[in-house]
Amino acid sequence: MGLAQYSLTNFGNSVSVYLASTLVDAGYLIYWKPTDTLQVGSSAYPGYFENQETILNEPAVAAAVTAGRGIVSLLNQDFSFPEFPVRPTSDGTVAAPEDAPVPLLSVQFEHGPNGELRELGSRVRWRRADLLVLGYARTFEEQLYLANVLRTAFDEGLFLAIRDHDAGTRALIDDVEIVEAEVLTDTFPLKPDAMVYEVSLSARLRYEA
């Protein structure tokens, strides 16, 4: 496949979809903050902020919220609109457009330096994209749970499908290999009655182009 198809947007969208699917399997609902859409299983509810009361009262959504682990806010690396992590309300509502309820995860990508040529007489090289997932949990227990979800989903040696979101087709570009994956946690005290439970994943995705 052409090098141009390995874009940051194709990487970001493909990995975000994979991460969301993993979180759904782990018992979460997904709030796609960039598109203002609530994902419940395989169902999508757009316009969540303006219609959240109606959406949350849908029987299927209400049942999923009650039975699930919570709603994870998924963010991308577009910081042109200020967003601030806030503690979630018990009913899943979002109080303001700039609020990003916790738990939240942000997916970020950068292209890494070019690697060696794959073979003589060809311009195909080993290349890599650097993935960073940063997030916050509500509790210490959820911090450990999300860390294990990330560790399992992005285990070294697994392959992820990168699809052509730029072209709007989602056609398969190729599979990329996860290498040098690391999951970290940290807890920061803000004041006696508030704690920040951070979780992060860094990994490299290796491919040929």
Strands (E), 82-171: 84-86, 99-101, 104-111, 126-137, 159-163
pLDDT of residue 152: 97
Q: Which residues of the chain have pLDDT under 70?
A: 1, 77-84, 87-92, 95-98, 119-122, 190-194
pLDDT of residue 114: 81
pLDDT of residue 36: 92
Q: Which helix (H) or strand (E) holds 196?
A: strand 194-208
For residue 107, give the 3-state DSSP assignment.
strand
User: Phi, psi (5° rounding) for residue 13?
Assistant: -65, -45
CA distances from 139 to 24, 102, 181 (A): 19, 10, 24
Q: Which helix (H) or strand (E) holds 43?
A: strand 43-46
For 161, the domain range is 3-208
Q: Which of 188, 209, 206 is nearest to 197 (CA)?
A: 188
Domain count, the chain: 1
Q: Name the pairing type of β-strands 99-101 and 84-86.
A: parallel
pLDDT of residue 126: 87
pLDDT of residue 109: 94
pTM, whole model, 2 decimals?
0.89
